A and B are shown apart, each in its own frame.
Chain A
């Protein structure tokens, strides 16, 4: 590659979803030079897909809500392996971050008295999700984008980072290439913020788009940073199951929040049959009470459809496996039934859930105001990611920061709906702020040519093997099958050991991938480059899941179906060993302060 472009920033943000944009805005506000790199076009990141809302204890709809309740909900949802400091900061700062969006032009749906309206969501005790119909993520990313473009941030669209550069123990920048022309770019930076999102593409059925190949997690890992909690992958209970081409695309939890119910092929609301003990007190025990809850009755308890995502996903799997599923291998999610309870029901559904109405109408030819949807679990989110300091979001590598889905700690074993969007803006801001401070105190070191050359050699290798090499798509599909079938919703020792063997074999195949053609917008080549990241995060998920011999949150093992006291006290950290192999270590869970414990006790 002769034509290499060199760029120089104080802070380089990788990823332009909610977290990346928020980080870039904050860093720019601190007065440093900020570059923002994104894999697709600006404003297309997966944040646009977030539907339900952003969780923040504004207490507009129910004044009993407060950050303390939000904190307790988040910890309980995460099964107490979350980082309590992150959960606390998140609960405290989310309301301010949401109001800030309004000062930048966001328009959330309103209460009668003109404030931001909030809706119910699984695992949140009170109506807490600020929302815009069911397109909250779009509103958020557009607000940040439209604000960000006036802050002096330089945006590099359709650019993929392939390696981080280091200077000794600290970060020095990264090597990237632009997808449209295939030219190499070297970014020198004092601090790098990773905000690359999730790993969904490691699985066959996922709500994630092609971008979510675990880039941030993998880049950090190969740069020597710790990963944490990678075994905790969230399978969203309701993805579309039909038609096949849209399998996995998300059906928002908002459908259930508005009164949608899950039924099996016998027409039975099966969720009532299996309510976990720790949620029994706040879950409705009859259909009438569940409906009143969805209507905003403060004395009613939530319907069991709004239990945590991991639990609902497993209940759906159980119904399907027992032969009580829908024709295409899911269960029925019925919102049309509320027409019997709401005047102008069909209009009401269209107004409350416009994107869902649109999505089913356009993609499946189904009118959700008339017939039930078919839904089933889909890989949605990874709770684990890069281990970061809760206050600064810096990873274990100096100058390398992470925020959003690619960082770990806030969600523990399971994330509550709505806590992702608030995560993005709370910790995106913190990451931007501290990255700017770090870069100012530690100016960018020089770039090491040898590291750049190594990255370049690795990136271009597939062209040398040309079409005689392995097909990148074939390797990717094989990996997705392995992860879906062997490290999916229900896991066990033997299958995961087999998965590790298969991943080892796939690594060899990946090293032999070849592509033909040119470097300009060549999707085969892009897929080949993403393989290393997918394999790294897949191995991390599998190794951690194999070690954790219990079931907790998003991690469920049928050979160890219960929670275990020992494992409840540890997080699993993953790093690259001296020999280049992957090392998994137990770390004690960060203990709660007395004040935090008091909140948990008070809310129990």
Chain B
């Protein structure tokens, strides 16, 4: 069993500091285990949010050595040996205590997005027929565990603090899932442009790199939404086609 040193942020919105702790690291331990061990050994009031401990609920989001990560999915064996491990709360949300931040802003953003609106059932049993290939794209987005690491790393929020105007990667994924849902009838494209302000995104793909579920956020959700916005607002030929009533009725552009 080896000893590891941790620098863990302790403090609240009034201020704080990195505090140094050492603890034994056993085989197979993850960063969250170490935090819990430190809690049990020397810092019973060290605040950390966690739940499933298996990378499925997205509660234990933090920054390990400057990288947004789930503490429960950060294996100690993968961190450089001998160096202190620095654990900080997410930077993009208001700090509550120690490693716990107030992520309630995210819940407010979601609530503003127009909800799922299915078309009328078309099968005899009052349901719908959907092929697997029609839902594959959306199922990728629905893997999201709402850990908000993508929100944390996005510089539009992290550095430019556009929380009032910008929805952030998580909610582009959420909106894309609705827009690509085979039976949804809603049209959220104007909102994507003018309320969620997708234009702030400058495609640095940081969200994609931190996603613990491996969702290809930028390429599969954000850029397709940007293209849908372009269809509707920035494409003169499609504008003309709409005026002339030409189109296949499949997208916002033709509808």
A–B touching in complex (CB under 8 Å): yes
Residues on A facing B (Cβ under 8 Å) = 40-44, 46, 48-49, 99, 102-105, 107, 109-110, 113-115, 132-133, 135, 138-139, 142, 146-147, 149-150, 155, 157, 180, 209-211, 242-246, 249-250, 355, 358-359, 362-365, 471-473, 515-518, 520-525
In the bound complex, what is the Cα–Cα distance between A5 and B71 (angstroms)?
Answer: 33
Jot down 18 A-B pairs with beta carbons below 8 A, ordered by A: A48-B52, A49-B54, A102-B128, A104-B116, A105-B181, A107-B135, A110-B131, A114-B128, A114-B131, A115-B129, A132-B142, A149-B107, A180-B96, A250-B54, A355-B56, A359-B55, A516-B44, A520-B47
Q: Binding site of A, secondary structure by majority: helix, strand, loop or mixed? A: loop
Which residue from chain A places its CB closest to the CB of B103 in the assembled complex?
A41
- How far, in angstroms, from A363 to B71 measured CA to CA in the complex? 11
Residues of A within 8 A of B73 (CB): 362-363
Q: Closest chain B residue to A40 by CB distance?
A: B51
- Other 12 A-B pairs with CB < 8 A, given A102-B128, A139-B142: A49-B57, A105-B178, A105-B181, A114-B131, A133-B139, A149-B111, A150-B115, A155-B107, A246-B28, A515-B44, A520-B12, A521-B47
Contact of A523 among B28, B48, B104, B145 (CB under 8 A): B48
The answer for the CA separation of A322 and B27 in the assembled complex, in Å, is: 26
Q: Which residues of A contact B77 (CB under 8 A)?
A: 365
Q: Are B39 and A523 in touch, CB under 8 angstroms? A: yes
Q: Are B115 and A49 in contact (CB under 8 A)?
A: no
Interface string of B36-56 (1 = CB under 8 A from A): 000110001111111111111
- Chain B residue numbers with a CB within 8 Å of A363 are 28, 30, 54-55, 73, 75
Q: A109-B132, A520-B96 are in contact. Are A44 and B28 (CB under 8 A)?
A: no
Per the bound structure, the CA–CA distance linking A317 and B133 in Å amounts to 43
Compute how far the CA of A245 lies from the CA of B54 in the bound complex, rounded to whole angstroms: 10
> Is B229 on the interface with A (CB-CB < 8 A)?
no
Inter-chain CA distance A363–B40, complex, in Å, is: 22
Q: Is B118 an interface residue (CB 8 A)?
A: yes
**Minimal beta-carbon separation of A381 from chain B (angstroms):** 15
| Residue in A42, A103, A139 whose Cβ sees the most chain B Cβ within 10 Å | A103
**Of A245, A365, A517, A518, most B-chain CB atoms within 10 Å:** A245
Q: Nearest CB to that of B55 among chain A residues?
A: A362
Say yes or no: is B98 at the interface (Cβ < 8 Å to chain A). yes
Question: Which residues of B have CB within 8 Å of A250?
Answer: 54
Kindly state the separation between the CA atoms of A446 and B75 in the bound complex, as whole angstroms: 52
How many angstroms from the CA of A525 to the CA of B44 in the assembled complex? 9
CA gap between A265 and B82 in the complex, in Å: 37
With A146-B110, A245-B29, A246-B53 as given contacts, are A113 and B129 in contact (CB-CB < 8 Å)? yes
B99-115, CB < 8 A from A: 100, 102-104, 107, 110-111, 115
B29 to chain A: which residues have CB within 8 Å?
243-245
Within the complex, the shortest CB–CB distance from A43 to chain B, in Å, comes to 6
Contact of B68 with A by CB under 8 A: no
Number of interface residues of B (CB under 8 A): 60
Q: Shortest Cβ distance from B32 into chain A, in angstroms? A: 8
- Nearest CB on B from A374, distance (A): 12
Pick the contact of B51: A44, A110, A516 (CB < 8 A): A44
- CB pair B116–A105 under 8 Å, yes or no, is yes
Contact A41:B59 (CB < 8 A) given known A110-B132, A149-B107, A245-B26? yes
Are the C-beta atoms of A517 and B26 separated by less than 8 Å?
no
Contact B129 A48 (CB under 8 A): no
Decide yes or no: A521 and B98 within 8 Å by CB, A110-B131, A132-B142, A363-B30 being known contacts.
yes
Q: What is the CA–CA distance of A4 and B40 in the complex, to the nearest angstrom?
A: 30
Does B56 contact A48, Cβ atoms closer than 8 Å?
A: yes
Q: How far is the CB of B120 from chain A (nearest CB, A)?
A: 11
Instruction: Enumerate chain B residues within 8 angstroms of A245, measured Cβ to Cβ.
Output: 26, 28-30, 33
* B30 and chain A: residue at smallest CB distance: A245
- The smallest C-beta distance from A519 to any residue of chain B, in angstroms, reads 10
- B163-185 vs A, CB cutoff 8 Å, 1 = contact: the mask equals 00000000000000010010010
Closest-by-CB residue of A relative to B47 is A521
Answer yes or no: B130 CB below 8 A from chain A CBs. Answer: yes
Query: Bound complex: CA of A518 vs CA of B11, how far in Å?
Result: 12
A41 to B60, CA, bound (A): 11
- Complex-state Cα separation, A156 to B6, whole angstroms: 33
Contacts known (A107-B139, A209-B52); A180 close to B181, Cβ less than 8 A: no
Give the shortest distance, in Å, between B183 (CB) and chain A (any CB).
Answer: 9
Q: Is the beta-carbon distance between B45 and A518 smaller than 8 angstroms? A: yes
Residues from chain A with Cβ under 8 Å of B178 in the complex: 105
Give the distance in Å from the alpha carbon of A187 to the alpha carbon of B12 in the complex.
28
Q: Which 6 A-B pairs have the closest CB atoms?
A: A243-B28, A114-B129, A517-B45, A524-B44, A105-B116, A521-B47
Distance A211 CA – B135 CA, assembled complex (angstroms) = 33
Q: In this complex, which of B54, B110, B118, B184 has the most chain A Cβ atoms within 10 angstroms of its Cβ?
A: B54
Distance A211 CA – B111 CA, assembled complex (angstroms): 26
| Given A142-B142, A249-B54, A520-B96, A150 contacting B111 (CB threshold 8 A) | yes
Interchain CB contact (< 8 A) of B47 among A44, A102, A515, A523: A523
Does B162 interact with chain A (Cβ within 8 Å)? no
Instruction: Say whether A249 contacts B27, CB under 8 Å.
Output: no
Flag whether B126 is at the interface (Cβ < 8 A). yes
